[in-house]
Structure 1
Amino acid sequence: MTGEEVKVLGTWGSPYAMRPRIALNLKKVHYEFIPETMFPKSELLLKCNPVNKQIPVLLHKGVPVCESLVILEYIDETWNSGPSLLPSDPFSRSLARFWAAYLDQKWYPQLREIRAASSEEERAASAEKIHVGMKLMEEAFKTCSEGGKWFGGDSLGYLDIALGCFLAWIRVTEEIFGLTILDETKCPQLSAWAVRFCAEEAVKEVMPETDKLAEFAKGLIARQKAALGAK
């Protein structure tokens, strides 16, 4: 535990805001979660992240650290309690960073495309991209885990958090559109990993409830359709 002032600015349903919270839980660092309004964005957010104006923001002793993957590395380097989030080997660290960047830059935008699709054909095309991505992550798990339970081997770490924060949104997308995204028959190791990840104490307290998140997602989809219809 620590007496340092640590705060996380985010929203309950944001996968990116889950990342620092899970990392701090793993490190056993006490923190305060500050819910962000987003509509409109709070003065605190605009002050702490004036460049991108995005969540999450980690406030450590009043100093803001922005961007979820950057925050994970900051947490790992600042607190040595709990497991190391990144592997000690330089090549393994580079792999973890590569796949985390892939998830944020390519894979998750494709998952969002499923929800934003205006036709079944568009949705099917986006779903196929997601299936390809899941197969890539299955192979990445085999390579990075080296036979261990986690992407980093024996302890839950950086890449586990980077992917695991999206599991609730995967479940919600499957439920709303009747899809199977994380297929146990095609991605057996990744499916087993997902069960382990969600069972971790550091994860359970911040993982959104599927029903609550599904209602939130349906509201987002309805607003998107209304916005498109108004143009």
Structure 2
Amino acid sequence: MTIQNRERFLNNVAQHLGRERKTKNVERPSSSLMPQWQVFQHHSQDELADELELQCHSIHTTCKRTNAENLHTVLQETIEELKGQRIIASDDSRNETFGISSLYEDLQKKGITCHIWNSADGQYNLDYAESADVGITFSDITLAESGTVTLFNNSGNGRAISLLPRSYIAIIPKSTLVPRMTQAAKHIHEAEQEGHGVASCVSFITGPSNSADIEMNLIVGVHGPVEVTYILVENR
């Protein structure tokens, strides 16, 4: 894509600022106050977990805490509470790491339909997600301050998993907890700078969808899941 009139525009800005235009050796300005780094700066992972759980009350999200050994049971109980009969989940190596691949097999035996996102299935993934009761993914980075899960959407983890089903479950390894968006952006930037594969689409999800646009009345589940559950897991 060709950028039109860039030079003329930037020269015009510099002229109105009353200085010559800077084209190189631009240094990032420093500030004596850096609140973006100071919020929860010295919190341990346990303290960040407590902050996340507290924030969940404000964003209409259920928060459960467990360890890796009991995740299978807690996830199954949550699916039952949400009356899930059609499940869609991401194709994530952590399904095996945290021992929940077998859960989807067990649910199938009970007559509950489960689909693992597969890029080869194309449109079928979207059609299934649209009719699913529950979508399940892992969080890649979790913001304690706002109760936000970050999803790296890729060929095994389509956006529709967290967007289209009636309910959504985010499995949150405690190691993914960071204070706030500042640290999440830093992590993504550093990963890209170091040549690691970074998803072209990154989703930030904070509880169920909601809107108060009409007469300031909060409506939950306007354009996404009506119910959201976070399962915070102690790492193996």
Given the two structures, how large is their TM-score scaled by the length of structure 1? 0.29
- Name the structure with the higher strand share: 2
Q: Which has the larger radius of gyration?
A: 2
- Name the structure with the higher helix share: 1
